Each structure stands twice: as C-alpha cells, then as structure tokens.
Structure 1
Amino acid sequence: MADQLLENLRPDLIKGLSERVINGLLDDLQQKRVFGEEEIEVIQHRMKTRADQARHVIDDVKRKGVKASEIMLASLKTRDPHLYDTLGIERLLVPVPETELTPSQLSETTGCSTDKTNTMNEYEMKSKPRGLCLIFNNENFTNPKMERRGSQKDTASLKDLFEWLGFSVEIKQDQTVSAMKMTLKEYSEDREHGDCFVCCVLSHGNESGVLGSDEQICPVDDITSPFNGANCSALAGKPKVFFIQACRGHEIQSKVMVADDSGGSRTQKPGRVSVSIPKDSDFLIARSTVEGYVSIRDETRGTWFIQSLCENLKEGSKRGHDILTILTKVNNDVSLKEGSLKVKNEIVDAKVTPQPIFTLRKLLIFKPLKKTGWFS
C-alpha cells in the first residue's frame, strides 16, 4: 500500500526532496485537504532544515493513511518526475500476486529484505523491569505564588501508568536546575538500564527550557543529551522517551472552527549484524504545547496533556498501538478541549496543541505487565 511504500522509501525521499518540491507538495496536500494551514505553518516555518521538512511531510502524510499517501505520491510524480522515476515508484505501486512472489521478488517489489534485521520492526520491550521512568515534579518554587497546584495529580497518574507498564518509577520532587542535571548525569551513567528509558518533567517553563525549583532555566537539550548514544552507551539503539509538561512562552492559542470530518538489546546476540547509527537516534520528545505558547493545568484534575497522555497510553497499550499513533490521539484529544484564562482582568478563550518530535527508527509499543493494580 502507498503508506507502506512511503515508509520503505523514507530515507531516499528525505535525501532527494528539494525545498522547491517540498513546497509544491505542501500546496497540493493543502488543496486536497490532507493538511490544514496550521500543519503547513509548522512544517514551513518551524522546521529549520530541508531534511526536517521532508521528514515531517512524509511522516505526517503516512500517519494520515493510504489515501493521503496516494495523494502525495501522485503529487510527487508531477512535481519531481525525475525522482519519481529514479525511485521506481510507478513499478512499486503495482501489486504483485502474493503466490507469485519469490524472496528476491519480495525484496525488489517492497524495498524490504526478507531478513528481519533489515525490516521495519519493533523495539524490544521484554526486560523486567522494562526500564526506568524518572519523574521530576517541580511543584513549589522560590516564589510561593508560582506553586503548581494539581501537579501531584499528574505525578500520581504517571507513576501508576508506568508501574503498570512494567517500569521502575522514581520521583524527584522540587529539584533545582543543578540537582536535576546531577540526577540526569547519574542515571545516564547507570549500566543497568532495561529496554527503554522514560523521563517526565512537570514544571513551569518558557521558550528557553523548563524551570527548576530555584526558578533558573534548564534547557531541554540539557535534559535529553546525557542519554544520547555518545554519553549513554547502555541505551544506544534503545528508545529514550521524554514527556515535558511546561509552558513554552506567554502567548495563548486561539481557537478556529473546522468542519467535522468524523464520517535492541545491549548484549550482542549470535548472528546479529552490527550497524552504526547517529548518536541522536531513538529519541521521542513529547511536549505539552508548541513553542511560544502556554500550557493549561487544572488545579484539581491536573494538566490537559499529562492526563490525556495517561488515559490514551493506557488504552492504546492494551490494543498494541505504537506510541506515535497514541500521541496523535493525544494531540486530537487535547486540541478539542475548551479552556479560559484571565489575562489583564479579561477572560479569554484558550486552546492547547501538544507537539511530539522524534528520531525513532522502529515502532515503539509499550507492553503492559499482567498484574493487579490501577489498570486491572
């Protein structure tokens, strides 16, 4: 199918799509109502490099399904016929009867090797515990007026969720920036990581990063970089997941009306092939809002993002959904919520759109352990 073909050709498309062609594809995708104006805005103006733009176009279209993928490939045929022909897309779109396929034909037709080491597969999620879930809950600050009431609700929900998913959960309460960095360095040097590492940061924030309890800024890169392949060899090739609940500015997202279209293991195993990967591979960073805007917290129920994340990750994991599918559901769920904030003695409508970014190379599917407890 077209969406699988996009996945198979993803590296070649990221390398081959020019900025001119990307802009043409976006025009076509908007005209065909695959993308809305906000999605186009994010890709054109917030993705800093051509490769990032290409990556996001491919991944966003692929997640929208077969029809959207077919529209993109048809557009590519018109916008860049040379690349279209070079990649053999016309031939690859023609289905071959399954009974007539030999292993070599299967590789040629789909772009996939029959060797499982080369196919799009899942990250291992078998270790017990699955790994560490580290939660920073910065609820109280030097200025008492900055107290984040309701954050304990988020902390409890995350703790119950990841314990149910088989993680060892550790909570760090009201940490200064220096204490946060020390903790992150300590865990990055731990040699006993399981199959995955999760870090949740609940705090205030701005465009530059998140706040420690001392009201100093900790850049998000200082949170994630201790765990890249160069600094944490125990997690090389394994997923590193960061959920960050914090404002990223002071602007308030307004609402618009739209039509309802609802109609690898650390130990080398015998026979496995060693490959090199970029040090920043295998990251997922899901943030509660887009750059420049506030995030919304309910003092009794917790934050919109974290509560939706816990609910949808619970249900999605039961069904075997991958994390990007789940986070798309979270984006939709949070985007539909209605809120209001007091600004200069005026009550204004407020909306929130979470934003995940990732360098995952495989499907990440959290697998709950069967035990009694919160989700049983």
Structure 2
Amino acid sequence: MTALVYYILTISLSFKVGIETRFCDIWQSRELTLQRTLRSRDGLQETSKHLVLHPFCFILKPLRILRALFLKVMQTVLEKKVFLINTLSADSSFILQYAQQDKIITKREYNNLNHRNHTSEQIVTNLLDTVMNKGDQMCHKFVTLLKQGEIHENYPELLQYFPPVPKSHNQDIPDHEGQVLPINPYRMSSNPRGHCLIINNVDFVTPSKTRYGSNIDEESLKEVFQWLGFSLDVYKNQTAEQMKNLLKNFSQKHHAGDCFVCCIMSHGSAEGVYGTNEIIVTKDDIFGPFTGKSCPSLNGKPKVFLIQACRGNKRHPPVHVQADSYEEEAEAEDDMSVDMNSLQMISIPEDADFLIVRSTIKGYVSYREQANGTWFIQSLCKQLKKYCPMGEDLQSILLCVNKEVSEKALAKQMPVHKVTLRKKLVFHVPHQQ
C-alpha cells in the first residue's frame, strides 16, 4: 500500500494543474454522454460502463489535492524565507552539508553555493532559491529536513514553524526491547569547534632517535584542523613530565566548544609514548585527565585522540626503514624513514564519548617517510579533506584511512580503531568568511 501511495505521489508531480483539470473534465464529459446514450439500455450494462471510466477521475482528483499540499509547502518556505535566512545563517555550512547529504542539492551546487566570497546570508538565500526552483517535491524534502532532530539541535528556533516529524530520517537501530532508536550526530556548530592540541616530539636525547618528517605531519594537521574550525595549540619536543602537565592543564580548561582533539606524535611502545627525555607517558597519563570526573566541561562531548607512535618492535623490513619504537636502534636513513603507528581505540569502560586512534596494531611499528611524513597522518588528513565536506562521519572516514594505509606496497601497516562514542561524529566544515 505504501509503495502504491508513493507511486501515485510521484506520478502526480509529473502532471501540471491545467493538464490534470483538462484530463478529468474530458473523462467526466465522456461519462455523462455515455450515460445519456445508455439510459434506454440495461441498467447493469450502464453501471458497468460507468465503472470503467469513473476511476480515472477518482484517482486524478486526489492527485490534484496532493499537489495542492505540496504547493502549500512551497508557499510556507516562501512566506518564511526571511525567518529561514536569519536562522540558518547562524551556521550556513551546517545546513548546506545536510542538504547535500540528503541529495537536495548536488555536489556542484554545494561548491557553487559555498563560495568563500559569499556571506552566510547570501549562501542561505541562494540555497532557498535553488530548492524552490527545483519544484514542490524538492521543497517538501527540504522542509522535511528542517524538521529533523539534529537540525533542531543546531537551530532550535526552527521548532516554532517546523515541528519535528514523528520518525527521524537517520539510520535507526532497535534497543533490547525492540524499540527503534535514532542515531543522531554530536552537535558540531560552535565557533571555534573546540581545542586541537598537537604535541610533536622530534628531537630526543639520543640523536639517532630524531623523527625526521614529523614536522610535515604537524603542518598537515594544523592545516586540516584549522580548516575544520578548531583553535590550535601546538607544542614541540616535550619531556614526559611536560607532556603530563600539559594534558592535565588542558583538561582543567573550560571547554566551551563542541569537541576536543589531541594529536600526539612521538616514539612509543606497548606501554605508551615517550617524552623527548625518553621516559614513558602511559595511557592513563594521556586519557585519564579527560574522563567525566576529571573534565566535566567535556561531558557528553566527543574527545578524539590521534596518536602517531609505535606499539612494539615487529615490522616488515623495507629498505631505509625507521620505526618510532624506543626499543629498536634507528637505522641510517636517506630518502625514507618508516614509522609504524596504531589506529586503536583505548577502551575506557566508565567513560563515553572517546575516540582514541593509533596508527598500527599492538606489537608493531608504524611507517614514516622523511620527505612526506607518516603514512597514517598523511592519509588521515587527505581523507578528512575529501569526506568532511560530504558530511561523512569520522568512523567511516577512518575506514578509508585503513584501506589506503593497508594497501601500501613497500611495507604492511594496519590501522585499527575502537570507540565509546554514543553518536555519529561529523566534522562540519565552517563557512570561511
């Protein structure tokens, strides 16, 4: 039945009002003519002829009513255009990305609308004009989007004119009682999005442990997370004690943003990562300060840790390989040094909203090229640039990182990740004024 109704709705949109009216009037006229002609005949026969012709009008009349409803939706958008411009301009990139994600606008239209010379008001105005020019069906789809829960989280003013729909368009999952629960994304609209802390250890007490190429990773991370709207805090060559104090101080800040990101690049082992004085910083030292009790201002907000460091000594030995593992002697390097990292999520049972990422599986090294940086960080930055504008969530992007890194030909590296996130994590690209 649902499929039939959808089919009828689709057909109705292909008719113009004048065509529908004329078509129905023709059949009504023919029906009346036949009824007059058949009056002298068998009543049963007349009834039979009547039933053959009448369903056409019976279907077309409701279609005209349905079309009128869609036109009413377009009229609503037109009447509330000023309200929508004022409301959606608060974060034009957010609604623009959702419109593309729901296929209301194309990728090309997204790029044209999101021009850096346009103000937020111009972007929203052009978006509304684009939607209305596509007709009543697309207008109805846009209004349905405005009624979704994740949109209301970012624009609560919409509740006044666009109340929520009974069921979210997001992917749903059943709970243990069989009820359907929506998977909504984390809020990601603050300006700035939050802090991005970058710790880059390059020079160590032992000269042969210098991590050549790590500065390239630092620049790549700075470029990407600044583009994503984060405020950057970069620290280089930190001892173990300095790293612990730095992480503790950041956890005690008031985090008004919607997210926190911490990137650590150093030598490492299965126990943790090393400071430049070659003393270990444990996992508890890194993540403990950001638990719910220790950092209440980040409660309910995603906390992302990206750690570029070895987790052991195992590796496939390519030519000119260097590992970010303190236990191994570094090899002489020319064009390439290899630095195997783990993309593994650290499990913290009591705390939610963590995504802790390493670039390699436990026990293995990760690879770093002197001229190009590490495989993991470079792939991550590349995939973020590609998929964040499309509205992809971070876990899906990490799968692309896994694929790219694992397919490297020179040596083998397998990123992995686990999460305690409760929602989808989507980095919305803010509009660049």
TM-score when scaled to structure 1? 0.59
| Count of aligned pairs between the two proteins | 234
Instruction: Report if aligned partners of 1:229, 1:278 keep a CA contact under 8 Å in 2.
Output: no
Instruction: Report if aligned partners of 2:173, 2:182 keep a CA contact under 8 Å in 1.
Output: no
Question: Hey, what does 1:289 align to over in structure 2?
Answer: 360
2:360 and 2:376 map into 1 onto residues whose CA distance is 8
User: What does 1:1-376 correspond to in 2, within 5 Å?
Assistant: 111=174, 119-253=182-316, 279-339=350-410, 350-371=411-432
CA-to-partner distance for each residue in 1:19-53, whole Å, 9 max, x for gaps? xxxxxxxxxxxxxxxxxxxxxxxxxxxxxxxxxxx
CA-to-partner distance for each residue in 1:93-132, whole Å, 9 max, x for gaps? xxxxxxxxx969x9xx9647xxxx9632010001100000
Instruction: Report if aligned partners of 1:136, 1:202 keep a CA contact under 8 Å in 2.
Output: yes
Residue 368 of structure 1 aligns to a residue in which SS?
Answer: coil
Residue 184 of structure 2 aligns with an amino acid whose one-letter code is: N
Q: In the TM superposition, what is the alpha-carbon distance from 1:193 to its structure 2 partner? A: 3.5
Instruction: Report if aligned partners of 1:175, 1:212 keep a CA contact under 8 Å in 2.
Output: yes
Residue 306 of structure 2 aligns with an amino acid whose one-letter code is: F
1:195 and 1:279 map into 2 onto residues whose CA distance is 21
Residue 186 of structure 1 aligns to a residue in which SS?
Answer: helix
Instruction: Report if aligned partners of 2:174, 2:181 keep a CA contact under 8 Å in 1.
Output: no
Percent of aligned pairs with the same amino acid: 49
Instruction: Report if aligned partners of 1:251, 1:294 keep a CA contact under 8 Å in 2.
Output: yes
CA-to-partner distance for each residue in 1:271-329, whole Å, 9 max, x for gaps? xxxxxx97410000110101000100000100000000000011110110000000011
Q: In the TM superposition, what is the alpha-carbon distance from 1:355 to its structure 2 partner? A: 1.6
2:240 and 2:349 map into 1 onto residues whose CA distance is 28
CA-to-partner distance for each residue in 1:111-162, whole Å, 9 max, x for gaps? 47xxxx9632010001100000000000000111100000000000000000
Residue 398 of structure 2 aligns to a residue in which SS?
Answer: helix
2:312 and 2:352 map into 1 onto residues whose CA distance is 28
1:246 and 1:230 map into 2 onto residues whose CA distance is 27
Q: Which structure has the higher relative contact order (CA within 8 Å, separation 6+)? A: 1
1:137 and 1:187 map into 2 onto residues whose CA distance is 16
Residue 286 of structure 1 aligns to a residue in which SS?
Answer: strand
Residue 365 of structure 1 aligns with an amino acid whose one-letter code is: V
Instruction: Report if aligned partners of 2:228, 2:429 keep a CA contact under 8 Å in 1.
Output: yes
Q: Residues 363, 253 of structure 1: CA spacing in aligned structure 2 closer, same or farther, 3 A cutoff?
A: farther
Instruction: Report if aligned partners of 1:322, 1:364 keep a CA contact under 8 Å in 2.
Output: yes
Residue 368 of structure 1 aligns with an amino acid whose one-letter code is: V
1:205 and 1:318 map into 2 onto residues whose CA distance is 33
2:208 and 2:420 map into 1 onto residues whose CA distance is 38
Residue 312 of structure 1 aligns to a residue in which SS?
Answer: helix
Q: Which runs of 5+ in 2 are unaligned?
A: 1-164, 319-347
1:172 and 1:197 map into 2 onto residues whose CA distance is 16
1:110 and 1:356 map into 2 onto residues whose CA distance is 21
Q: Aligned-pair RMSD on alpha carbons?
A: 2.6
Instruction: Report if aligned partners of 1:240, 1:282 keep a CA contact under 8 Å in 2.
Output: yes
TM-score when scaled to structure 2? 0.51
Residue 361 of structure 1 aligns to a residue in which SS?
Answer: coil
Residue 137 of structure 1 aligns with an amino acid whose one-letter code is: N
Question: Hey, what does 1:16 align to over in structure 2?
Answer: none
Residue 205 of structure 2 aligns to a residue in which SS?
Answer: coil
CA-to-partner distance for each residue in 1:141-190, whole Å, 9 max, x for gaps? 01111000000000000000000000001111000111011011111011
Q: In the TM superposition, what is the alpha-carbon distance from 1:191 to its structure 2 partner? A: 1.1
Query: Which structure is larger by alpha-carbon Rg, 1 or 2?
Result: 2
2:413 and 2:271 map into 1 onto residues whose CA distance is 19
Instruction: Report if aligned partners of 1:283, 1:360 keep a CA contact under 8 Å in 2.
Output: yes
